[in-house]
Amino acid sequence: MIRFEHVTKRWADGTTAVDDLSFEVAEGEIVTLVGPSGCGKTTTMKMVNRLEEPTSGRILLDGEDIAEGDPVALRRRIGYVIQQVGLFPHRTVLDNTATVPHLLGWPRKKARARAAELLELVGLDPAVHGDRYPGQLSGGQRQRVGVARALAADPPVLLMDEPFGAVDPVVREHLQNEFLRLQSQVRKTVLFVTHDIEEAVRLGDRIAVYGHGRIEQFDAPTAVLGAPATPYVADFVGADRGLKRLSVTPIERGDLELPPVVHLDDPLPAAAERLARERAHWAVVLDDADRLHGWVAADAIARPGGGAGTVRDRARRMDAWLPLGASLKQAFSTMLQHDAGWIAVVDGSRADHFLGVLTPASLHEALRRSIGADAAGSERADVDLRTVSSKG
């Protein structure tokens, strides 16, 4: 979709920002460009929408050399999101979002309807936020408007230059998650600049790790973390790269344990017998559609007077749960956040159908799997698993 062929950019003073760059971004793929300040990431991006022109080499969009067409027509096919957002302060959020459709001459009503739809897509309520001015939004909300605006004309390509750089880490992680959810719906071809390796790893289908003006490694996140191509890359991704892999390793079915399961409407004696038979101290409680409700302790069922009634009377709600495919890092952090001895895993694509649980022991196994899967084998010493297992 986007193809760089031997692209070099030299400034008038003779310094080279980008040196003989060749790589390709496939349709619907997110490629993150990551590297230290001044290594040429932004210059690379600006050459795609022709805010800068290469000194040599060419860039193809859908097989066409972008230098041959009209830059304005080119930019209509490309959404651009930058850190400073650049919203018009005296225009409402809705009008800001509708900027490009307006420029394209859409009728006002259609442009505003599209803007409202986009705001909803990025998690803002148009009825609440649409008539506000940018100054009346939080930093995170402004970033969302920036993303909505870039998507308004439905361009196939998105260029994002440190779009979440100006917000605090918690909001940032939230925006990253939202962005991934959004991308699963809109499937744009995305070039994303960041200097944060964690962000690059979380968001990128592939990562380009920049040295000065050159790509040192262009690969999937697990490969960059597991098998850094050069000492420079190893240094850049950090000694704790084994831990960083947790954020790109999804929970899989094979990681899950299956504790005893009872249902809300089960009579208490039957549930008690079930737990006794399995010598379990607790069971997962599901509703009649096999969705997670919570859990119930064996002694809460077995206590005197427990004969009548159903599991519903004794069950407790469970907030520590994740969908299958969430990262091991999320699993670990959910377990810590809820101080939970286990977390439930559900099938997000099947109405949150319960699948099993992760315990500290099974999480430990999953961590081992994530390290064992290394292409070229990272060293086990990179991840201190004992810390995990001693807590379990």
Ligand X SMILES: Nc1ncnc2c1ncn2[C@@H]1O[C@H](COP(=O)(O)OP(=O)(O)OP(=O)(O)O)[C@@H](O)[C@H]1O
Q: Which residues are near ligand X by CB under 6 A?
A: 11, 17, 35, 37-43, 195
As measured in angstroms, the least distance from the Cβ of 200 to ligand X is 12
Question: How near is the Cβ of 33 to ligand X at its closest, in Å?
Answer: 8
Beta carbon nearer to ligand X, 42 or 327: 42
Residues 147-182, buried b or exposed e (16+ Cβ, 10 A)? bbbbbbbebbbbbbbbbbbebeeebbbebbebbeeb
- Helix (H) / strand (E) element for 43: namely helix 41-48
Q: Kindly state the smallest distance separating residue 59's Cβ from ligand X, in Å.
A: 15
Nearer to ligand X, 40 or 163 (CB): 40
Closest separation between CB of residue 47 and ligand X, Å? 10
Taking alpha carbons only, the member of 112, 137, 106, 111 closest to residue 124 is 137
Burial of 261 (0-12, 13-18, 19+ CB in 10 A): middle
| Least distance from ligand X to the Cβ atom of residue 9, Å | 8
Q: Tell me which amino acid residue 75 is.
A: R
Q: Which is nearer to ligand X, 94 or 159 (CB)?
A: 159
Shortest reach from residue 35's CB to ligand X, in Å: 6
For residue 201, the tally of other CB atoms under 10 A from its CB is 23
356 pairs with which residues across the strands? 345
Residue 14 or 135 having the CB closest to ligand X = 14
| Residue type, position 306, single letter | G
- CB proximity list for 94: less than 8 A, separation 6 or greater: 112, 115, 116, 119, 126, 130, 131
Q: What angle do CA 319, 323, 328 make, to 5 degrees?
A: 95
Which residue, 38 or 169, has its beta carbon nearer to ligand X? 38
Nearer to ligand X, 84 or 337 (CB): 84
Residue 230 neighbours by CB under 8 Å, 6+ apart: 216, 217
* Residue 38 vs 71, nearer CB to ligand X: 38
Q: Which residue is nearest to ligand X (CB)?
A: 42
Q: Can you tell me the distance from the alpha carbon of 218 to that of 229, in angstroms, rounded to the nearest whole number?
A: 9
Closest separation between CB of residue 16 and ligand X, Å?
A: 8
